[in-house]
Every structure is written in C-alpha cells, then in structure tokens.
Structure 1
Amino acid sequence: MDASSQFQDTLPITSDALLAQLQGWGLDYMLHEHVPLRTVEDAKSVEDAMEVPGEAAFRVKNLYLRDKKKRNYLVTLEQDREIDLKALGAQLGVGGLSFGSPDRLMQTLGVRPGAVTPLAMINGAQNNVRFLIDAAVKGADRIYMHPLVNDRTVAMDVADLWGFFDRVGVSAEVLEVS
C-alpha cells in the first residue's frame, strides 16, 4: 500500500478525520491536493502552486528515528537542512539513532513512509514519541505538512500548529541545528 489518501481507511486515524478534528478545534488550514509526494524533491515540484506571496513558509522534511534503547523520535526539519544522526544523538544525549522501520512507523505514528508529518503526533503522543522541531520554525508564518497522507498538504499558521500540540498533549522541543 502507498501513503496516499486512496488508502487512508487503513490508517488508525484517517486524513479526513484528522482534518475534521482540526476544524472542530478551530485550527485553520488551507488544504492542497496533489500527486503523491515521496521526497523533498517531489515536494519542491508542487510548491509553487501553493506559494503565498510575502509569506515566510516553513517547508519540512520529517525523520522517524529510534535510539539503541528503542525509544522513538519524530524530528521535523526545514526541508533543505542537512543533519548528522550521530551528532544529533550526541546533542540529545542518546546513542545509536537510526531510521525506524515502516512497521514501527505505522505502530507508533500511524502513517506510512512518505507521509511522516508533525500531525502524526495525534498518534505519537500516546505512544511516547519524542517530538523535536527545527528552531527555524520560529521565523515562519506558516508550516506546510502532510495530513497523514502524501497526496495532500496543509498550510497552517505556526501558532495553530502549537495549538494542535496542546490539544494532543505534545511537548514540542525546539531543536537548534547547526
């Protein structure tokens, strides 16, 4: 199965249910539908169609990681940010950071590879996933991310993202990446 909305009914929480919940909480977003995006390069091919002139946009890439003690992490970075997992592990005081398996990703965040997103913390919070976000988000007006599937992108005010985290019980850690 791929990570598109065609298969959203196989997820613990569907993209449609997530979007309805965001609306119910009064968290505004703009929904964009597009071809499935699997990589940052794929995402860059559709960004112009979503562009809002004069907006400070935070476009993301997301890493689902595990450490040697099998603790789970979701790290959201600015899409062009380079990261050294060994250095990140040292910064976090954990060892052996590596990418988690697709099966573990589904178990902990309720998404498939290609659709990893900060919004997956609606599942990750109850599964003890530690969430870290690039400090570059502080300079942004809006964040662009998948709503649990990779053929949709939501543009949301960064303040509303923090409101989402409050609603799902996530303590987001701001990560200074050099």
Structure 2
Amino acid sequence: MPKSPEELLDHLKALGIETATHRHEPLFTVADSQSLRGAIDGGHTKNLFLKDKKDRFFLVTVEEDAVVDLKSIHHKIGASGRVSFGKPDKLMELLGVAPGSVTAFGVINDVGGQVTVVLDAALLENETINAHPLTNAATTSIRRDDLLRFLESTRHEPLVLKVTE
C-alpha cells in the first residue's frame, strides 16, 4: 500500500525537515500550476517517469519550463537505448502515484530501489524547490538541501546532471 501524503509529511518531519504545504485544486499540467506562481516562491518541478529498453526506470525532475530532449536523454542518464514514458500501472506500483501527481517525493514508495532519480543541475540552483506531496491537490515547498536529505533517507542517491536543453 503506497504511503499517503500525510505519511510523507510525517517522514519529512521525523527527519527534522521543515516544509510548507499549500492545498489547491488538482493540477494536471505545468500550465495549470503556473496560476499559483504569486503564492508559492521557488523552483517548480516537472517530472518524467521513464523506462529504458531493459525495463530500468528513471524519475527525471527538472524545472517546470525546462526542455528535455527525449530522443537523446538516454545518453545523459545512462539508460540502455532510447527511453519511453513508463506505464501508469508501473508508476503506481513503484512510486505510488497516478499520472498528474508524479513527484520526486514518490521515491518514498520505491522500497526496492528500482527507480533511478535524476535531478537537473539547473533545478538545484533554487534554494527552495516545490513538488507535489504524492497528490496533485497540493504543493510542498522544501529547501534544496533538505530534498537531497530526503532522497538519501529513501536510499535514492540522485544523479545530478545537466539534462535540459
């Protein structure tokens, strides 16, 4: 059973990580979320759940307006051949979220360590990073260094790479 948003926030709190969570209508696209820009400072994320030809899974997190070349990203992230989007059932199985709610926080549900986390270097230039807390009906703001601590706590050492154009 995947963790709930409340269990995620409790996990962060147990790590001593302070966050701010803003509840809102469900957001399904970057365009939807841009209406919140006045209320929520920091870098806002776009997440791609990808799989390669050997069924290895990648969660690529970039800034919301970043351009990612899906035809060449496999070279940058170490995938076997070109990548495609992972299927919704695998997304739910591995990260415990549905399409529209993909988030770096989803790795709390990847207890088997099957997903490789890739963070775009440009995103980490932000002191504060915003992501869905396992639901697209909220946005959680977290300090960059605390996001890295969270990923470490789930045994997901992220690859920090320049993946955007």
- Report TM bin, short chain: over 0.9
- Residue 89 of structure 2 corresponds to residue 103 of structure 1: yes
Structure 1: distance between partners of 2:143 and 2:103: 15
Structure 2: distance between partners of 1:174 and 1:125: 21
Give the SS at the match of 1:20: helix
Structure 1: distance between partners of 2:46 and 2:151: 18
Q: Percent of counterpart pairs with the same letter?
A: 39
Identify unmatched segments of 5+ residues in structure 1. 1-10, 52-56
Q: CA RMSD in A?
A: 1.3
Which whole-Å deviations, capped at 9, do the CAs of 1:96-154 have from their partners, x for residues lacking one? Answer: 20001111100111111111101111122524100001101331110000000000110
Moved more, 18-27 or 121-130: 121-130
- Choose the corresponding residue for 2:110, options 121, 124, 131: 124
Q: Which amino acid aligns with 1:163?
A: R
Where does residue 60 of structure 2 map in the other structure?
A: 75
Classify 1:171/1:125 alpha carbon distance in 2 versus 1 (closer, same or farther; 3 Å): farther
**8 Å contact 2:151–2:158 — kept in the other structure?**
yes
Where does residue 139 of structure 1 map in the other structure?
A: 125
Structure 2: distance between partners of 1:112 and 1:79: 18
Structure 1: distance between partners of 2:55 and 2:152: 25
Structure 2: distance between partners of 1:126 and 1:147: 20
Indicate the structure with greater helix content: 1
- Count of aligned residue pairs for this structure pair: 163
Instruction: Report deviation, 1:167.
Output: 1.1
Structure 2: distance between partners of 1:74 and 1:92: 10
Give the SS at the match of 2:110: helix
